[in-house]
């Protein structure tokens, strides 16, 4: 459903993405892994046009778009089919959980308010916040705020949700509560592209992994193969370091 071909991006003459390919089928949960600074966030931001990639192509449901010549109208069309969940939730501080979820439906999608409220409540119920409709972000834990952000994404009925390190601002307990929601979405067949440092998520929820370093894909494919039988020396080293820091090996 989503293919990224040969995406390139430089900042001030320094190449950050050097020709990355990604393939996502419907129902896939793709984890993008890699050391800090490898270009993961930039990749996601370029795919969602929050940054302008210098070159490459995006194919969405068979429709092809060149990154360097896509129109604003085409971007708006693609954004209707996709949703983005940020590391720091990006909620409106002066709006309740329900208002945060319904705002985009009413303003951007021109949905009647009553319908938006109904859909918003359903989305909040789905992420376990049926008792928090009227709470403001500062009355919610970080994990609850991120679940509001996920509800906001779900309410737009996207074909795919992009997540940029959705749990990296959270302590382990709250991380677990957000990952449980994401696991449930995966079980229901939601297509997700997730930049993460959470190896447990990549190992147990994602079915595909893309491992990046220095703006290039080092290894990608089936997540079980990646973790149990990595092909590249660099991947083996990365996994060894991760396992050692988690205290899993001596
Ligand atoms: N707006 C920007 N201007 C200049 N350089 C940038 C910009 N955004 C990112 N970079 C640089 O691009 C490189 C890749 O950054 P990016 O955030 O994509 O990596 P990452 O893999 O997501 O890292 P992390 O895991 O630490 O979030 C880094 O060297 C970063 O400093």
User: Domains of the chain: which residue ranges?
Assistant: 2-89+161-246
User: Which residues, at least 6 apart from 109, have a Cβ–Cβ distance to it below 8 Å?
Assistant: 80, 156
**Res 120: pLDDT:** 97
Distance 127 CA to ligand 1 centre (A): 30
Whether ligand 1 lies within 6 angstroms of the CB of 166 is answered as: no
pLDDT in tens, 109-118: 899 999 999 9
pLDDT at 247: 65
Say how far apart CA 2 and CA 168 lie, in whole Å.
25
Please tell me the predicted confidence (pLDDT) of residue 250. 38
Distance CA 60, CA 23 (A): 10
Structure confidence at residue 225 as a pLDDT band (50, 70, 90): very high
| Beta carbons of 53 and 67 less than 8 angstroms apart | yes
Assess whether the C-beta atom of 100 lies below 6 angstroms from ligand 1: no
Q: Look at ligand 1, atom 18, and give the residue with the nearest C-alpha.
A: 39
- What whole-number distance in Å separates Cα of residue 28 and Cα of residue 24? 6
Class of the CATH domain delimited by 2-89+161-246: alpha beta
Atom 26 (ligand 1) nearest CA: 36
**Would you say the CB of residue 16 lies under 6 angstroms from ligand 1?**
yes
245 has a pLDDT exceeding 90: no
Rg of the chain (C-alpha set): 18
Instruction: Pick the closest to residue 143 from 90, 179, 102 (CA basis).
Output: 179
pLDDT at 172: 87
> For the segment 154-191, what is each residue's pLDDT rounded down to a tens digit?
999 999 999 999 999 899 889 999 999 999 999 999 99
With a 6 Å cutoff on the Cβ, whether 36 touches ligand 1 is: yes
User: Does residue 39 line the site of ligand 1, with CB under 6 A?
Assistant: yes
Nearest CA to ligand 1 atom 10: 11
């Amino acid at each position: 459903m989503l293919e990224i071909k040969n995406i390139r991006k430089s900042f001030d003459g320094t190449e950050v993405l050097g020709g990355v390919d990604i393939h996502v089928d419907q129902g896939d949960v793709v984890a993008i892994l890699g050391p800090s600074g490898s270009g993961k966030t930039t990749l996601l931001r370029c795919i969602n046009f929050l940054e302008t990639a210098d070159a490459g192509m995006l194919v969405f449901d068979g429709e092809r778009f060149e990154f360097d010549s896509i129109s604003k109208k085409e971007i708006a069309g693609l954004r209707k089919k996709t949703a983005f969940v940020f590391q720091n939730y990006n909620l409106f501080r002066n709006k309740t959980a329900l208002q945060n979820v319904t705002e985009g439906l009413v303003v951007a999608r021109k949905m009647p308010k009553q319908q938006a409220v109904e859909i918003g409540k359903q989305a909040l119920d789905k992420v376990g916040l049926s008792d928090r409709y009227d709470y403001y972000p500062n009355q919610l834990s970080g994990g609850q705020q991120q679940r509001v952000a996920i509800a906001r994404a779900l309410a737009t009925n996207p074909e795919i949700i992009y997540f940029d390190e959705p749990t990296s601002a959270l302590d382990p307990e709250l991380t677990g509560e957000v990952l449980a929601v994401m696991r449930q979405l995966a079980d229901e067949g939601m297509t997700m592209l997730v930049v993460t440092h959470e190896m447990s998520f990549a190992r147990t929820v994602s079915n595909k992994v893309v491992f990046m370093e220095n703006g290039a894909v080092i290894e990608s494919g089936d997540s079980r193969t990646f973790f149990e039988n990595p092909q590249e020396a660099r991947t083996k080293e990365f996994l060894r370091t991760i396992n050692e820091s988690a205290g899993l090996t001596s």
